């Protein structure tokens, strides 16, 4: 555990970057420091590995004051990932990753074997090993940065806005990769971001800091969204925090129906049976059961195989039944031109469809269970918020 006890950082000009901060950062979890610019997030992170020394207070690592060990040894015991990766431009990718093991005395062969192993773990093809950083995309470079931080298998990983310089699609991919790696390795991760959505998505605990370096609230994401400590936290979370909170309610119990689903080779009689279910639209699937689009029943009355492609309405983005959250299901239904969301299995085949009304009922039921003590904790949905 990392314990931050009454830590203050005040600079000679009188600027207070961090003001009397106390935090207990749990082992094996992701703790996110989030807040507006100038609130002391990065300063706090850098005090953990003594890149910045506190003015007062102390920081303990597994019960020992971090000032009691040599600063170089402390830094080598912690992985450190920064924005834009901070790679050595004159070294190949494999040698970049092998940097810390080599500094710790590993022979070159062992260090490079470890580097190649980690390339696979962070989703990098081994063919990139002999390339240089400038030959990689921004997202690939960030993956190299994560691999380098993990190379010596440190128990603690410090990450300072590592994904903020990449585009949203790559960022989402890197966040998912981090959660996958964390599930496998169980590191103690301290992660700095200014993005509350990113904090909610990856954090087990979130420390919201206010301007002046003071702690506003320290809580799990679900608690943060449901019970902001004050007006500052509520404002920082934004007006759509209720929608964000749906990320913590699983879609596992959502009642799907397959009645309006017909295959592309369905005859007129099969279409008639599907139409009798009363749905205003039918979902057409291909021969493998994957969605093609929505069609009005009257346009398919002669048989699904006679439906013109131009008459199909888009089915939108489907959600993974049981694996994604109620937020995902609601988003899919809202984006659908029919108001119905399409649920798919792991192979992309239609598992059923669900209306906005049914999703709304599930949301009300989830809220009721949460109020009655059933909870909708992070563990119960195995980080379903990561998919949103």
Q: Are residues 243 and 265 in the same domain?
A: no
374, part of any domain: no
> In the prediction, which pLDDT does 380 show?
40
> In the prediction, which pLDDT does 373 show?
61
Adjacent-strand bridge partners of 80? 158
> In the prediction, which pLDDT does 248 show?
87
148, part of any domain: yes
What angle is formed at CA 187 by the lines to CA 63 and CA 233, rounded to 5 degrees? Answer: 85
Q: What's the total number of domains in the chain?
A: 2
Q: Are residues 112 and 90 in the same domain?
A: yes
Q: Are residues 234 and 304 in the same domain?
A: no
Q: Are residues 280 and 312 in the same domain?
A: yes
User: What is the model's pTM?
Assistant: 0.81
Q: Are residues 276 and 237 in the same domain?
A: no
- Structural domain of 191: 2-247
Distance CA 187, CA 193 (A): 18
194, part of any domain: yes
CATH number of the domain encompassing residue 211? 3.40.50.300
Q: Are residues 235 and 86 in the same domain?
A: yes
Adjacent-strand bridge partners of 158? 80, 190
Q: Are residues 79 and 226 in the same domain?
A: yes
Residue ranges of the chain whose pLDDT lies below 70: 308-310, 371-388
315, part of any domain: yes
> In the prediction, which pLDDT does 375 show?
46
275, part of any domain: yes
Residue 169 burial (C-beta neighbours within 10 Å; 0-12, 13-18, 19+) = exposed
């Amino acid at each position: 555990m990392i314990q931050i006890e009454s830590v203050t950082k005040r600079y000679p000009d009188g600027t207070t970057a961090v003001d009397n901060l106390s935090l207990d950062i749990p082992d094996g979890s992701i703790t996110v420091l989030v807040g507006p610019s100038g609130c002391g997030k990065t300063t706090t992170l850098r005090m953990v590995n003594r890149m910045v020394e506190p003015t007062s207070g102390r920081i303990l690592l597994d019960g020992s004051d971090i000032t009691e060990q040599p600063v170089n040894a402390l830094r080598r015991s912690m992985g450190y990932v920064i924005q834009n990766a901070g790679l050595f431009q004159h070294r190949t990718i494999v040698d970049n990753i092998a940097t810390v093991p080599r500094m710790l005395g590993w022979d070159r062969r062992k260090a490079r074997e470890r580097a190649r192993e980690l390339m696979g773990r962070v989703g990098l093809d081994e063919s990139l090993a002999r390339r240089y950083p400038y030959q990689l995309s921004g997202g690939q470079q960030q993956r190299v940065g994560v691999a380098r931080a993990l190379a010596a298998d440190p128990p603690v990983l410090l990450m300072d806005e590592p994904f903020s310089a990449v585009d949203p699609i790559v960022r989402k991919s890197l966040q998912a990769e981090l959660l996958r790696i964390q599930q496998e390795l169980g590191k103690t991760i301290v992660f700095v971001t200014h993005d509350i959505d990113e904090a909610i998505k990856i954090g087990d605990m979130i420390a919201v800091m206010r301007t002046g370096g003071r702690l506003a609230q320290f809580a799990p994401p679900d608690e943060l969204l449901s019970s902001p400590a004050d007006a500052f936290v509520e404002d920082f979370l934004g007006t759509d925090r209720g929608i964000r909170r749906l990320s913590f309610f699983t879609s596992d119990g959502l009642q799907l129906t397959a009645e309006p689903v017909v295959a592309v080779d369905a005859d007129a009689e099969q279409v008639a049976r599907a139409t009798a279910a009363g749905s205003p639209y039918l979902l057409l699937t291909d021969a493998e059961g994957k969605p093609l689009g929505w069609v009005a029943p009257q346009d398919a009355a002669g048989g699904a195989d006679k439906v013109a492609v131009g008459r199909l309405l888009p089915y939108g983005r489907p959600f993974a039944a049981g694996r994604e959250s109620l937020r995902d299901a609601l988003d899919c239904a809202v984006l659908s031109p029919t108001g119905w969301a399409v649920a798919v299995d792991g192979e992309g085949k239609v598992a059923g469809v669900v209306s906005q009304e049914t999703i709304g009922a599930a949301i009300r039921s989830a809220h009721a269970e949460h109020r009655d003590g059933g909870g909708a904790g992070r563990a119960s949905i195995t980080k379903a918020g990561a998919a949103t």
